[in-house]
């Protein structure tokens, strides 16, 4: 059975980037590193999903 690739939205990626900025501004380097790993995982999942930017199910 093929491994399922999670669908990651642009909103999730944008929120992670904002959270990284907020943590960085607060000087919380541990949180920045954790969020960066999470963002890297989300970006990889997004690329693997083959999302071309079109809405799914839109008519």
Return the domain boundaries, the chain.
Answer: 10-49
Question: Do you know the residue count of the chain?
Answer: 59
The confidence score (pLDDT) of residue 50 equals 75
Check residue 2 and report its DSSP letter: P
Rg of the Cα atoms in the chain:
14
Alpha carbon distance 44, 52 (integer Å): 14
Q: What global pTM score does this model have? A: 0.72
- C-beta separation of 49 from 16 below 8 A: no
Mean pLDDT by 10-residue block, N- to C-terminus, for the chain (59 residues)?
67 97 99 99 90 48
């Amino acid at each position: 059975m093929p491994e399922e690739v999670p669908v990651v939205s642009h909103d999730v990626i944008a929120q992670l980037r904002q959270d990284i900025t907020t943590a960085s501004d607060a000087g919380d380097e541990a949180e920045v590193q954790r969020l960066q790993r999470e963002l890297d995982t989300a970006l990889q999942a997004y690329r693997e999903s083959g999302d071309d930017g079109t809405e799914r199910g839109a008519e």
